[in-house]
Amino acid sequence: MLCYLPVKSLLRFKCVCKHWDSITQDFQFICLHYKHSPLIIEEKPSNGSAGCKDEFEPLPALPTRGLVLEYATRPSHFPFSPNLRYRIRNPEMQNQFFEIPDSKSSIWYMCIMFDPDCQVLKLLSLVDDRESIGYEVLDLQNEESSYCWRPLVRT
């Protein structure tokens, strides 16, 4: 029953007892909760800027019950270097965020996807490496890979 509640309510109710708090922090519960909203789509703003370099802004998004993909500009001293930083933030927990590592290619579009069958949260990006346009995937559950972008090869 708890998996059907909005995140805001879950966070309010987690102080009921330690058992409820541990349930809401359990990875299996989180996966079950995400099953009800499996896809969050975000994209790079069309103008490519977000104001000051340390001010993160949310990207345009579909209504979700979960995470927010945000971006901020950074000064670019070299031509062709990516000028946007990205992070994922949980709006219900103000200081919890995950800085997304840079891709070697320029990111044109990005989306967050949760696969409840595999229980994995991933980022998919459309990239341009100045030679071709392709896709890269970042597996957010795989700490062993140090959160590296990997090319998605079309077969």
Per-10-residue mean pLDDT of the chain, 155 residues long, equals 70 76 71 57 44 57 61 63 74 76 82 73 80 83 73 76
Shared-domain flag, residues 115 and 50: yes
pTM: 0.56
Shared-domain flag, residues 18 and 64: no
pLDDT value of position 140: 76
pLDDT value of position 52: 40
Shared-domain flag, residues 32 and 42: no
Shared-domain flag, residues 52 and 87: yes
- Residue 113, C-beta contacts closer than 8 angstroms, at least 6 positions apart: 38, 39, 40, 121, 122, 123, 124
Q: Are 113 and 137 in contact (CB under 8 A)?
A: no
CB atoms within 10 A of CB 6: 11
Q: What are phi and psi of 133, to 5 degrees?
A: -100, 135
Residue 11 lies in domain: 1-36
- Residue 66, C-beta contacts closer than 8 angstroms, at least 6 positions apart: 7, 34, 37, 40, 90, 114
Q: How far apart are CA 72 and CA 54, in angstroms?
A: 6
Q: CA dihedral in degrees (83, 88, 91, 96; nearest 10)?
A: -110
Shared-domain flag, residues 23 and 47: no
Q: What is the DSSP letter of 130?
A: S
Q: Are 25 and 106 in contact (CB under 8 A)?
A: no
Two tokens at 76?
């670019």
The number of distinct structural domains making up the chain is: 2
